[in-house]
Amino acid sequence: MIAFAYRCIACNIGILATYPIETLKVKVQTNENVPTFAGIETPVIFSSLTNGMRFQIFSMIKPYSFLLAVSIAGIYNGIVEIPYHNIKLERQLGRPLFKGGWEFIFYKELIGTFLHFYSYNTIETDNGIIQFLLGDGTAVAAMTVVYPLEIFFVNYKTKKKGITDTITDTITETIEKNTLLKGYYYNMLKIFVGYSITMYLQDMINVI
């Protein structure tokens, strides 16, 4: 329980340090005005617990089976991140959003977690600086692969009713408008800072 509490705190530190960047990303993605700290209570309360549990699940299962640990952590994160993303985006924009679109978040978090944890944990080093940079590189690479799924999700949730009513329509329209990487710069910056802090602290917890 102590290790889990520390993991939650580590995740919260990363969240608080990068939330203004998260807001800038959503502003670009939605073309709407978003107050800097709107919805910050959502990740502080919700995401710190879910991410803390994700790291805890991975650490507990890893000694028995690395691939199983990565897979279960990814599935877990894919499920629990769905309500978080819905609530956070609604609070940021200050209005109800279109229902559905959970598939985008599930596969984004499942694939992203698998790629990140797998690559990060297969390249281990005793050098603290290199390990710090690995936290950046593996997170950025993994989240780059799945970033279009986040754009699909945001476009689907914020669409005007009657314009695009299906998930397929949203995907097609997003691709046609060439907006798959809209806001990606801020997402990369947030990951670079946030994951470096979080992964460095998680490694410190592992040796406690």
Ranges of each domain in the chain:
2-206
How long is the chain? 208
Residue pair 26/91 in contact by the 8 Å Cβ criterion: no
Do the beta carbons of residue 22 and residue 34 sit within 8 Å? Answer: no
pLDDT tens-digit map of 43-58: 888 876 777 788 789 9
Confidence band of 136 (pLDDT split at 50, 70, 90): confident
Give residue-wise pLDDT tens across range 1-60: 666 666 667 667 777 888 999 999 999 999 999 999 999 988 888 876 777 788 789 989
Q: Are 100 and 167 a contacting pair, CB within 8 Å?
A: yes
- Which has the higher per-residue pLDDT, 72 or 194? 72
SS3 content of the chain, % helix, strand, coil (to 5): 80, 0, 20
SS3 state of residue 183: coil
**For residue 207, what pLDDT is reported?**
52
- pLDDT reported for residue 3: 64
Range 2-206: architecture per CATH = Alpha/alpha barrel (1.50)
State pLDDT tens for residues 66-92: 999 999 999 999 998 999 899 999 999
Average pLDDT along the chain: 85
User: Pick from 52, 54, 63, 66: which is nearest to 3 by CA?
Assistant: 52
Distance, CA of 140 to CA of 148 (rounded, Å) = 13
